[in-house]
Amino acid sequence: MKKLLLDKVNVPGIKTFEVYRREGGYRSVEKALTMSPDAIVEEVKKSGLRGRGGAGFPTGLKWSFLAKPEGVPRYLVVNADESEPGTFKDRYLMEFLPHLLIEGIICSSFALGSNVSYIYIRGEYDWVSDILDTAIGEARQHGFLGKNILGSGFDCEIYTHRGAGAYICGEETALLESLEGKRGLPRIKPPFPAIKGAWGCPTVVNNVETICAVVPIMNDGGEAYSKIGIGKSTGTKLISACGNINKPGVYEIDMTVSVEDFIYSDEYCGGIANGKRLKACIPGGSSVPILPANLLLKTAKGEKRLMNYESLSDGGFITGSMMGSGGFEVLDEDQCIVRHTLTLARFYHHESCGQCSPCREGTGWLDKILTTIENGKGQMKDIDLLWDVQKNIEGNTICPLGDAAAWPVAAAIRHFRDEFEWHITNREECLVRNFGLAHYADELKIAATT
């Protein structure tokens, strides 16, 4: 498979402008500046590129919604917050191919009529932000940023803005609030950012991988890009593979690859670590439903499940999941689903901004109930209570964080209810496993009487 984004990642010195330019970098900028902005948007539409941040919305269509009032600036904001547990492919792009992102930003900015673009990068990516700042300086020094780029009359500046470690700021409107210097709370929509975004001006927010994909689209044409992949899952996709596998890392795939081949082939994950069996997988980052092995490898129709938007979601949340952000987390036969679900629930409880009561209160209840069950102190009715709590969170919040907290819990109960029941009927074993018999003998006595 021809790699579109990572084909040059192993070239020595590719982080520098000189090497990147020598390897064909910034050709797409030269081409874009000879086209009209509308023609570039049409190429992106033709490519079928979908947003690579999680929602998978068609990028060209999103760009076409951008309002263009006279005398009002427009902004492109790159979402480099990447706080979704299990997802690290945007960091990989920025760390090793910073000029690819800058090239994509310039092309996208020209198409959108934006003269100022921001890269909102998570605060923990401190060293990556320094790499980007260096690359931005190099691009400006060589005439690809600043005033009158390549004599085209187009001006473009790029600035990095470091976040402060809030997961909620990965949501585009909370990101814009933070960019403006305010607390990162999601906005009620409408109005959408395309109408009223950064500082009340029309704004497009796309994540790093999406903007990088604009470069091969410009170089090869939207039609050529659309022929890679299958159906509405066009182009290539970066996958952050982690968990109980032999070869964790970032992989660029053609979306015709099957899930089974992705896990077991030497080209990708290399199989389950330590010769264990596959138990389950979260295919799109921590916020999407977990799937047991049998549903992960086969669709509801009995066909091989493929690594793309349509195949992963086949059957809805009953038998399917989502491509999401591409955070592919593999669990082997020894992993405890209850403990894993508790870890995720605790994360979402901690990261809730507190603006919506279903999320503010509900994530706390999910954390509390799961802790009780995991520690061998739960009752059978707690499983049904968990289900009711997640159901009352889903769809009742301003932003998707509530859904992100609810879906993993719902899927874990749906597919692994027997493990929740085991924790309740084997209290003593849970307590000994989690705390140790000697230190928590009193806990055992208390649990035996409740």
Label residue 133 by pLDDT band (50, 70, 90). very high
How do residues 387-398 score in pLDDT, each as one tens digit?
999 999 999 999
How do residues 236-280 score in pLDDT, each as one tens digit?
999 999 999 999 999 999 999 999 999 999 999 999 999 999 999
Neighbours of 316 (CB within 10 A): 10
How do residues 370-426 score in pLDDT, each as one tens digit?
999 998 889 999 999 999 999 999 999 999 999 999 999 999 999 999 999 999 998
Report the chain's terminal Cα–Cα distance, integer Å.
Answer: 59
pLDDT of 430 reads: 80
Label residue 438 by pLDDT band (50, 70, 90). low
pLDDT higher than threshold 80 for residue 436: no
Cα angle 260, 266, 267; round to 5: 90
Tokens for 26?
């910034």
pLDDT of 219 reads: 97
pLDDT of 315 reads: 86
Which has the closest alpha carbon to 101: 119, 115, 84, 87?
119
pLDDT of 264 reads: 97
Higher pLDDT, 79 or 430: 79
Which has the closest alpha carbon to 373: 181, 106, 381, 75?
381
Label residue 205 by pLDDT band (50, 70, 90). very high
pLDDT of 108 reads: 98
Neighbours of 17 (CB within 10 A): 22
Label residue 301 by pLDDT band (50, 70, 90). confident
Higher pLDDT, 213 or 440: 213
Between 53-62, 173-182, 323-332, the lowest mean confidence (pLDDT) is in 53-62
pLDDT of 429 reads: 81
Q: HSE-up of 57 (CA within 13 Å, CB side)?
A: 11
Label residue 437 by pLDDT band (50, 70, 90). low
Cα–Cα dist 427/1, whole Å: 51
Domains and CATH numbers, the chain: 17-227 (3.40.50.11540), 230-332 (3.10.20.600), 337-445 (1.20.1440.230)
Cα–Cα dist 164/155, whole Å: 30
Instruction: For residue 430, give Cα distances in angstroms to 87, 215, 338, 439.
Output: 30, 52, 11, 14
Label residue 218 by pLDDT band (50, 70, 90). very high
How do residues 10-68 score in pLDDT, each as one tens digit?
999 999 999 999 999 999 999 999 999 999 999 999 999 999 988 889 999 999 999 99
pLDDT higher than threshold 90 for residue 352: yes
pLDDT higher than threshold 60 for residue 336: yes
